[in-house]
């Protein structure tokens, strides 16, 4: 890795990368980055370019002056598929009417998505807006392990 250039990161799927507060790479996923940047401008018209996007995502994922992870509160009914929430200390993916428990090797268990109440949201708010816009990357949004658990 070249210091100050970019970070080489690999995630289970795109939903996991978004939950971690990352955007598509402008070098290795240029077409996704370009589409993502266009979608980004709707909620952030004054934030153009990777540096501006990264600064906003950093502010949404870490508490100021610390490395403590920020969680955001939201009603379950307002969150799109692909959003991650924290349930009983375990990250879960929201997919339809279900919550899929996450692990580094794939999704494991399925639970009923609560109809009411508020959730502790892991995915940063700006990236939830991207998911709401219908974001479909060229890479897998969801790991194949989600297929046999949902629906």
Q: Which residue has the higher pLDDT, 36 or 5?
A: 36
* 99-142 residue pLDDT tens: 999 999 999 999 999 989 999 999 999 999 999 998 999 998 99
Q: Which residue has the tokens 């939903």?
A: 15
Q: In the prediction, which pLDDT does 91 show?
A: 97
Number of structural domains in the chain: 1
- Residue 5 belongs to some domain of the structure: no
Count Cα neighbours of 55 within 13 Å in the Cβ-side half-sphere: 8
Does a structural domain hold residue 128?
A: yes
Query: What is the pTM assigned to this prediction?
Result: 0.90
**Would you say residue 2 lies in a domain?**
no
Domain assignment of residue 1, yes or no: no
- Residue 120's domain spans which residues? 14-146
Residue 49 pLDDT > 60, yes or no? yes
CA 136 vs CA 32, 99, 133, 142: distances in Å: 9, 20, 9, 10
Model pLDDT for residues 53-100, shown as the tens digit of each residue: 999 999 999 988 888 999 999 999 999 999 999 999 999 999 999 999
């Amino acid at each position: 890795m070249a210091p100050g250039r970019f970070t080489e990161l690999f995630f289970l799927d795109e939903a996991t990368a978004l939950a971690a507060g990352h955007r598509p790479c402008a070098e290795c996923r240029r077409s996704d980055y370009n589409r993502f940047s266009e979608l980004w401008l709707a909620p952030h018209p004054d934030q153009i370019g990777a540096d501006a996007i990264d600064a906003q995502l950093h502010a949404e994922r870490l508490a100021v002056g610390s490395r403590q992870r920020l969680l955001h509160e939201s009603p379950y009914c307002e969150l799109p598929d692909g959003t991650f929430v924290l349930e009983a200390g375990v990250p879960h993916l929201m997919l339809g009417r279900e919550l899929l428990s996450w692990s580094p090797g794939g999704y494991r268990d399925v639970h009923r998505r609560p109809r009411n109440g508020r959730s502790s949201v892991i995915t940063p708010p700006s990236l939830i807006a991207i998911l709401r816009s219908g974001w479909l990357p060229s890479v897998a949004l969801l790991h194949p392990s989600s297929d046999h658990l949902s629906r």
